[in-house]
């Protein structure tokens, strides 16, 4: 198949390009504010340009990990969050629909309020933040626009990444420099290995599966426990990690606390395994050490 990845300069988009090409598909990608060799520029808030780019790409699938992902920034800039995460995604879905392509929208466990996780795909959404709301409204808009729409919800994505900005890279840097790190011990989630997320998404496209899927790691744990396991796997000194409550961090946007994504639906349908956090961290270490 031929795929267009909008937002290929980001963590998930980069993995999607790799997974698509590794599985023998043709894939091209775009960036917005961070130019990268081999990627064309595309801003999803410009519908006419989106329409033209999708038409010229002649894709069978448009995958759209593009988004305004900084949760606290979104809280202070809601108009920007809705323009990119909802309206931009909808413009891209419309353009995909016009050329007969399928469309994958990337969403988040932040559509839930974190009082009763782990959540299944059809559990009631109640986002606590503008980021979560912009994604929830994006989901509704995209699913209402076209029959060949897929919504992939994920969370706490980590793994090898050119940008080196995900949580595990931050943890490694802080531990190796002897700097402390305050980590919330009351945010429960399902840390997700980025390579698995990308491969599982490509499998959904290959098999023409539509609807909402939770693609997340196989295990629900709080962030401090995840950090502790990462320290074990990477041989880091965890003694300078301090467990704190989310409230102590004083973040602008509220976080869902008892969250996590149930993956029974994906496990029942997909051949691609979704690793446990420990297995994903081991796989990441192998890649960083050049053995993966
Ligand atoms: N990472 C996670 O833990 C996580 C958790 C839950 C859900 N998700 C969802 O998964 C998706 C991918 O996440 P990620 O970690 O890959 O995010 P990321 O690393 O922040 O990448 C975001 C991508 O969106 C692009 N982008 C930003 N504004 C754009 C615009 N106006 N038009 C077109 N592209 C634009 C960025 O391009 P430039 O960098 O070139 O500007 C970048 O390629 C997001 O939609 C996010 O909400 C991620």
Average pLDDT, 10 consecutive residues per value, the chain (292 residues): 98 98 98 96 98 98 98 98 98 98 98 98 98 98 95 98 96 93 97 98 97 98 98 94 97 98 98 98 97 76
Q: Which of 165, 223, 145 lies closest to 191, judged by CA?
A: 223
CA distances from 133 to 65, 110, 237 (A): 16, 8, 38
Distance, in Å, from the CA atom of 244 to the CA atom of 247, rounded to the nearest integer, reads: 8
pLDDT for 109: 98
CB atoms within 10 A of CB 169: 17
Q: Which atom of ligand 1 is nearest to the CA of 12?
A: 16
Sole residue written with tokens 């900084």: 70
197 lines ligand 1 (CB under 6 A): no
- Quote the CA–CA distance of 259 and 96 in Å, as a whole number: 32
- Residue 5 CA to ligand 1 center (angstroms) comes to 11
Residue 99 confidence (pLDDT): 97
**Ligand 1 centre distance from Cα of residue 7 (Å):** 6
pLDDT at residue number 282: 98
**Rounded distance from Cα 237 to ligand 1 centre (Å):** 31
pLDDT at res. 240? 86
For atom 13 of ligand 1, the residue with the nearest CA is 12
Cβ of 45 below 6 Å from ligand 1: yes
Q: Residue 106: name the closest of 172, 207, 188, 194 by CA.
A: 194
pLDDT, position 180? 84
Count of all residues that appear for the chain in the document: 292
Query: Is the Cβ atom of 66 under 6 angstroms away from ligand 1?
Result: yes
The reply to whether ligand 1 has any atom less than 6 angstroms from the CB of 81 is no
Q: Which two structure tokens, joined as six digits, stand for 274? A: 């979704």
């Amino acid at each position: 198949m031929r795929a267009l990845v909008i937002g290929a300069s980001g963590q998930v988009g980069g993995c999607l390009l790799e997974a698509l090409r590794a599985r023998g598909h043709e894939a091209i990608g775009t960036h917005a504010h961070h130019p990268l060799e081999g990627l064309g520029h595309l801003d999803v808030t410009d519908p006419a340009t989106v329409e033209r780019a999708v038409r010229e790409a002649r894709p069978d699938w448009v995958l759209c990990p593009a988004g305004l992902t900084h949760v606290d920034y979104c809280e202070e800039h809601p108009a920007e969050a809705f323009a990119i995460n909802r309206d931009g995604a909808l413009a891209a879905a419309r353009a995909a629909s016009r050329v007969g392509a399928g469309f994958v929208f990337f969403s988040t466990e932040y559509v839930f309020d974190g009082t009763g996780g782990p959540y299944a795909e059809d559990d009631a959404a109640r986002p606590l933040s503008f980021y979560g709301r912009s994604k929830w409204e994006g989901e509704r808009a995209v699913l209402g626009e076209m029959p060949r729409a897929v919504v992939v919800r994920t969370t706490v994505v980590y793994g090898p990444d050119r940008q080196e900005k995900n949580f595990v890279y931050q943890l490694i840097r802080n531990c190796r420099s002897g700097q402390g790190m305050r980590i919330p011990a009351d945010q429960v989630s399902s840390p997700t290995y980025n390579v698995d997320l990308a491969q599982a998404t490509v499998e959904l496209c290959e098999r023409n599966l539509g609807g909402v899927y939770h693609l997340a790691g196989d295990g629900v744990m709080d962030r401090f426990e995840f950090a502790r396991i990462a320290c074990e796997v990477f041989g880091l000194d965890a003694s300078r990690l301090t467990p704190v409550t989310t409230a102590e961090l004083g973040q602008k946007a509220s976080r869902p606390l008892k969250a996590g994504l149930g993956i029974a639906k994906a496990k029942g349908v997909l051949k691609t395994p979704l690793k446990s956090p420990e297995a994903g961290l081991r796989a990441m270490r192998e890649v960083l050490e050049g053995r993966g």
